[in-house]
Structure 1
Amino acid sequence: MRLILEWLACCALLNGVHAQTGGSFVQAGSTLVSAMMMFLGNGEKVYILDKSEGNAAQVNGHPAWGAVWDINTRQATVMDVVTNTFCASGMHLPNGSWATFGGNDAVGIGGASPSGNYDSVYGDYDGRKAIRILNPCTDTDDFSSSQCQWFDNPAVLSMQENRWYAAAEALADGTIVLIGGFTSGGYVNRNYPNTDPTYEGGGAQPTYEFYPSRGTATLMQFMTTTSGLNSYAHTYLMPSGKMLVQANLSTILWDYTQNIEYPLPDMPNGVARVYPASGAVTMLPLVPSNNYTATVLFCGGSDMPADYYGNYSWPFYNTWTYPASSDCQRLTAEPPDGSSPVYDQDDNLLQGRTMGQFITLPDGTLLLVNGGSNGTAGYANQTLYVPSLDQMPYYQSLASGPVGTPAIYNPNAPKGSRWSTAGLSTSSIARLYHSSAILLPDASVLIAGSNPNIDVTLNSPYPTTYTAEIFYPPYFSSSVRPQVSGVPNTLAYGGNYFDLTVSSSSYTGVTANQAAANTTVVLSRSGFSTHAMNMGQRHLQLNNTYTVNNDGSYVLHVSQVPPNPNLLTPGPVLLFVVVNGIPSNGTMVIVGTGQVETQPTSAASPLPPSVTATALPSSSSSGKTGGAVGLNADPTLISFLFGVAVMILGAC
């Protein structure tokens, strides 16, 4: 029997099955293009975008800057993208498709600009107005079909204005609002001195527009107020339908239907969070226990004086020597008691971090990964004080001190105890400017990218990086994962509840009654990952009750999404069942009708009361802590394992 198990273990390793140790990193193959942008397309595929640059991977006769990474095989395949996706924004669509918006003009070797809108060496077109659409495909689809490829043709589909580093936020009807950005490349979008804060002589983009279009692009006063530090503004749709917008040190609630701005308090302590300060920012989990109150957490970034950011060309300071901030702030922009919103000082980071990125885990904690301890995002060939590239200590990088140890934030822990690095390994791969991270369906986290260089550079202190990693959060230390059946394909805004069945093998060490009482159902959208942000990331817990069966299984009675699409806009999400803090595999479902339209809502049906079991199986079959298979195991089991061993060894 022992020999069978050893054979199985050996062949599993030969076939690339990796141990899943909680708190650990595992390398996960090459992404072929550096993962500046990344999103989960479905349960099988992750889509990756890079800027136009000299990657060795080729597609249709030019360097590739698009790829699809297979979750099961951990192998990437190049995809053709026509326009320059450099620093685009992106968002989900209601039917599960994805869109990216804008980018930079066409570039050639070393970032050189061609005379027109096309570079013949890299084969890229101007992407500043581009709208690119992708319908994610599965292994059963024909990947050669145009249905599975990027649609990228600005002559057919484009924005009204050039947008580079624009913000994107999905709205309740599935429309996407696009805010601000640059009109073309630069470090920060301001001149020095800043005599034209609205337009910067044509370099700044102070307007907003919608996709699908709602008319002419409109001037937004907030872009003038925050001039110079408003790229990739932080945007969060609030329960009321207004939008929290934060950039530079300013904060507003914005009525995008009327273009009315309601000022909120400034960011405390002079800490900027938008690019290139690039703090870690996310909305905390939306949960029934506080009636889905929306609170946003801001951590890290930089308190550099404004003049240090310089201008479009380069910073006016040696940024890599400036320590990143460890400050954290919470903001509830719409307090449920009607009081005036205020920033709430939270626990500091365990170390300062710029370009840190939050991933909301299914258990409701926040994973912080990537970033550096000094400096800012961006790159340059010089600063005000270092006049040439050969004198730059980290080549073109404006940050230093990669932070390889993740941290976990528990939003429900008492103040003073919310951060922890206990049991977490440290990655040896620097993840600085142009890194990305997303949640995968098995509740692990894919981390990729890092490229603080104008073009592909493999011999710099922080090189262009193609190696992906998977981080396994602490809950992977459990030997048992919940097994769930009955997950629907779609969810509505209100209406009749649905049932999920959790098997008796989904928990260990507790009774079925205890497991059911400590089970939650959550919807997780990891969003569009770029520049230390996950645009559209949300985590929403659904209401549920339960009925425990005498065989140790139990049925969850689960409410639909609350009848307010502002809480979770229509489109794809992963549904997880979390038992005692251990998540199941996530199943992708579509919230809403799948169309860009006013989403129908209805009152939530009452849930039945929870029912516990009075006669549960003995501990040998329910709540059992697993044991080893010994030589006296059931002969049927031995025969089965022999059969499995033969099949796997044959594959070896």
Structure 2
Amino acid sequence: MATHHLFLLPTIFFHLLLLFSLTLPFPSQASNAKWQILQKSIGIVAMHMQLLNNDRIIIFDRTDFGSSNLTLPNGNCRHDNSEIVVKTDCTAHSIEYDVASNTFRALFVQTDVWCSSGGAVADGTLIQTGGYNDGDRKIRSFAPCETGQDCEWQETDHALAVRRWYSTNHYLPDGRQIIIGGRRQFNYEFHPKRKTEENNKPYVLPFLLQTDDKGAENNLYPFVVLNVDGNLFIFANNRAILFDYQNDAVVRTYPEIPGGDPRCYPSTGSAVLLPLKNLEAATVEAEVLVCGGARRGAFQLVHKGVFSKAMDSCARIKITDPNATWVVETMPMGRVMGDMVMLPNGDVLIINGAQSGTAGWGNAENPALQPIIYRTNSSGGSRFVLQPASDIPRMYHSTAVLVRDGRVIVGGSNPHEKYVFSNVSYPTELSLEAFSPYYLDSEFEAVRPIIEEPCSYVKLMYGEKLKMSIKVNGRLVPELLSVTMLAPPFNTHSFSMSQRLLVLSMGEVKVRGNSSCEFEVTAPGSAVLAPPTFYMLFAVHGDIPSEGIWIKMQ
């Protein structure tokens, strides 16, 4: 063998070893994850969460169940004669949580946001819609503000065409939100409305009526995903359609999910759009994953004292395939009310929920304390990896969101009509904790990428090239590098609205020594692939992500 070939053997061996260790399942994924209590009490139940582009999370619950455990500042009180429990309420039902400082402050939400919906728009503002009672036709906004400023909720009366309770929002390529369904609402509308929509009437969507289980419904909080062709994949109960919202037309009907059991509220499974790749290809593929839920009839059985086992199946479908079919896999455990959180490396964290029963007040038992990581790119049969258990049940009205440092912030659990802390199996939970996936363990410090350039927030045009510089503390393997961007979703009731992760196309990697490199990535080519808003950008070395930076697509 030639001398230079012998010289290359140690390097080749190292690359193969690192490639093996970083891209295949290994024990650290199950043992190196950690839980940490951030706040023993934030004073409210974390029923809804949205991460904003200033690294703060807006959290809120409901106003119609009495006082919370957090007093509003400056003597503020909410006066509402329509409330049954407390007509004058001087406590907060919303907070702004600062991720970096692990602190929070009370916010004044003026109307009832119970079981509402929302999402962040182009300028980073959280647009929040609907709720219950005096809040069911409200639109509220919360704009991120600079450090030291005290932003507050702004509310608009009668901004929605109809009552929206348990509806789903999705952010659209044109910068609007579509608001779909809700209790006894078999229709949809937009915000903001175009001039032709000023009569403020919703558009009828017969699919929602067709999927309504009388008495149990099972089509509330439908799973909605923006497909790469600009149409919407809408899943309700056990069925799905591809919907052209611009022309008010159903483009295609997908096969019923295998088994035929419902997956939407109150049967409450979860769903996610899997990572979008090869963005410069002529045809970009899109896949949706639906996991867990309660079997048909479980909602009625709970009221007879029978808690049915939650479903342990995940079904995956390539929605861009003309002959799309569902492929079913089995999770390590059944789970209802689980949240599916996209991780920076493209894997999916399945967290929270219970192993029996359905969504609703006291309707579930046997908490699912162990999260699961679903390894998107692994082969069937080897995708699920169990994670360390939390000590805190996260049942009905629990939430989870990814933050820029790679942790997942988890809160909530209130399976009662009011705050109840004793003499019940699962007390109201006011704590906030962080789940740190295995990739944050110190074991991976040497291979964890650090983004050197850009060093802070950047704005990107569609199709624009972005120069990046990456380093690691140990040895860099260029072949294992990728770059992802993730839109922070609005999370409530086990579904993360507008959650979207894209794998960017990379140019030639120029290596500098053993531990750093530079290259260019190409921004997504259209607003259909990446609607205009703020995203977290991550470098990923094998399975190990960097801390993210904020970018704005425009």
The TM-score by the shorter chain falls in which range? 0.7 to 0.9
Aligned twin of 2:290: 298
How do 1:358-373 residues align onto structure 2 when only pairs under 5 Å count? 358-373=340-355
Distance 1:525 1:22, change over 3 A: farther
Contact 1:180 1:223 in 2 (8 A): yes
Distance 1:564 1:318, change over 3 A: farther
Is residue 92 of structure 2 the alignment partner of residue 64 of structure 1?
yes
Q: Give the counterpart letter for 1:322 in structure 2.
A: S
Aligned twin of 2:47: 36
How do 1:360-439 residues align onto structure 2 when only pairs under 5 Å count? 360-379=342-361, 397-421=362-386, 424-439=387-402
Distance 1:260 1:44, change over 3 A: closer
Aligned twin of 1:114: none
Is residue 192 of structure 2 the alignment partner of residue 212 of structure 1?
yes
Aligned twin of 2:254: 264
**By how many angstroms is 1:42 displaced?**
2.4
Aligned twin of 1:355: 337
Instruction: State the distance in 2 between where 1:137 and 1:412 align.
Output: 38
CA-to-partner distance for each residue in 1:530-549, whole Å, 9 max, x for gaps?
01111011110111121112
**By how many angstroms is 1:231 displaced?**
0.7
CA-to-partner distance for each residue in 1:423-464, whole Å, 9 max, x for gaps?
x32101010110000001100100001111111111122121
Distance 1:458 1:138, change over 3 A: farther
Instruction: State the distance in 1 between where 2:130 and 2:288 align.
Output: 26
Aligned twin of 1:288: 278
Aligned twin of 1:153: 156
**By how many angstroms is 1:351 displaced?**
0.5
Percent same amino acid at aligned positions? 29
Aligned twin of 2:418: 455
Contact 2:45 2:429 in 1 (8 A): yes
Is residue 33 of structure 2 the alignment partner of residue 23 of structure 1?
yes
- Structure holding more strand per residue: 2
**By how many angstroms is 1:316 displaced?**
6.9
Instruction: State the distance in 2 between where 1:567 and 1:136 align.
Output: 25
Q: Give the counterpart letter for 1:479 in structure 2.
A: E
CA RMSD of superposed structures (Å): 1.7
Is residue 504 of structure 2 the alignment partner of residue 542 of structure 1?
yes
**By how many angstroms is 1:551 displaced?**
7.0
Instruction: State the distance in 1 between where 2:369 and 2:306 align.
Output: 17
Secondary structure of residue in 2 paired with 1:355: coil
Secondary structure of residue in 1 paired with 2:154: coil
**By how many angstroms is 1:153 displaced?**
3.3
Unaligned 5+ runs, structure 2: 1-30, 78-89
Q: Give the counterpart letter for 2:61 in structure 1.
A: D
Contact 1:359 1:526 in 2 (8 A): no
Question: Given the alignment, which residue of 233, 241, 255 partners 2:244?
Answer: 255
Secondary structure of residue in 1 paired with 2:439: helix
Instruction: State the distance in 1 between where 2:241 and 2:55 align.
Output: 39
CA-to-partner distance for each residue in 1:514-568, whole Å, 9 max, x for gaps?
2x2211111012300101111011110111121112474211211112x232222
Superposition TM-score, scaled by structure 2 size: 0.85
Secondary structure of residue in 1 paired with 2:209: helix
Aligned twin of 1:181: 182
Q: Give the counterpart letter for 2:410 in structure 1.
A: I
Contact 2:308 2:357 in 1 (8 A): yes
Instruction: State the distance in 2 between where 1:41 and 1:286 align.
Output: 22
Question: Given the alignment, which residue of 437, 460, 469 partners 1:491?
Answer: 460
**By how many angstroms is 1:319 displaced?**
6.4
CA-to-partner distance for each residue in 1:556-597, whole Å, 9 max, x for gaps?
211112x232222111110111123221111112112xxxxx
Aligned twin of 1:45: 56
CA-to-partner distance for each residue in 1:150-209, whole Å, 9 max, x for gaps?
112316xx1111100011111111111111102xxxxxxxxxxxxxxxxxxxxx111210
Aligned twin of 2:139: 131
Instruction: State the distance in 1 between where 2:42 and 2:528 align.
Output: 34
Highest Rg: 1 or 2? Answer: 1
Contact 2:177 2:192 in 1 (8 A): yes
How do 1:460-475 residues align onto structure 2 when only pairs under 5 Å count? 460-475=424-439
Q: Give the counterpart letter for 1:273 in structure 2.
A: R
Contact 1:32 1:77 in 2 (8 A): no
Instruction: State the distance in 1 between where 2:229 and 2:319 align.
Output: 10
Instruction: State the distance in 2 between where 1:285 and 1:318 align.
Output: 41
Contact 2:369 2:389 in 1 (8 A): yes
CA-to-partner distance for each residue in 1:255-306, whole Å, 9 max, x for gaps?
111211232211210221111111121111111288641100011102223x
Question: Given the alignment, which residue of 497, 500, 507 partners 2:468?
Answer: 500
Instruction: State the distance in 1 between where 2:239 and 2:539 align.
Output: 38
**By how many angstroms is 1:476 displaced?**
1.2
Q: Give the counterpart letter for 2:296 in structure 1.
A: M
Secondary structure of residue in 2 paired with 1:493: coil
Once structures 1 and 2 are overlaid, which stretch shifts more, 361-370 or 264-273?
Answer: 264-273
Contact 1:519 1:579 in 2 (8 A): yes
Instruction: State the distance in 2 between where 1:366 and 1:224 align.
Output: 31
**By how many angstroms is 1:317 displaced?**
4.2
Instruction: State the distance in 2 between where 1:280 and 1:205 align.
Output: 21
CA-to-partner distance for each residue in 1:465-514, whole Å, 9 max, x for gaps?
1111100101112224322122351122113x1211113xx142x3x4x2
Secondary structure of residue in 2 paired with 1:377: coil
Instruction: State the distance in 2 between where 1:127 and 1:172 align.
Output: 27
CA-to-partner distance for each residue in 1:217-237, whole Å, 9 max, x for gaps?
111111110112211011111
CA-to-partner distance for each residue in 1:311-339, whole Å, 9 max, x for gaps?
xxxx674465210001111111221xxx3
Secondary structure of residue in 1 paired with 2:259: helix
Instruction: State the distance in 2 between where 1:288 and 1:409 align.
Output: 21
Distance 1:138 1:320, change over 3 A: farther
Instruction: State the distance in 1 between where 2:286 and 2:69 align.
Output: 44
Instruction: State the distance in 2 between where 1:251 and 1:580 align.
Output: 34
Secondary structure of residue in 2 paired with 1:517: helix
Aligned twin of 1:190: none
Aligned twin of 2:24: none
Is residue 548 of structure 2 the alignment partner of residue 590 of structure 1?
no
Instruction: State the distance in 2 between where 1:404 and 1:277 align.
Output: 19
**By how many angstroms is 1:96 displaced?**
1.0
Instruction: State the distance in 1 between where 2:388 and 2:383 align.
Output: 19
Is residue 318 of structure 2 the alignment partner of residue 332 of structure 1?
yes
Instruction: State the distance in 1 between where 2:437 and 2:495 align.
Output: 19
Q: Give the counterpart letter for 1:414 in structure 2.
A: S
Distance 1:471 1:163, change over 3 A: same
Aligned twin of 2:206: 221
Is residue 263 of structure 2 the alignment partner of residue 273 of structure 1?
yes
Aligned twin of 2:532: 570
Q: Give the counterpart letter for 2:225 in structure 1.
A: Y
Instruction: State the distance in 2 between where 1:469 and 1:316 align.
Output: 29
Question: Given the alignment, which residue of 101, 114, 127 partners 2:129?
Answer: 101
Aligned twin of 1:560: 523
**In the comparison of the two structures, how many residue pairs are matched?**
487
Q: Give the counterpart letter for 1:265 in structure 2.
A: P
Instruction: State the distance in 2 between where 1:49 and 1:443 align.
Output: 23
Secondary structure of residue in 1 paired with 2:233: strand
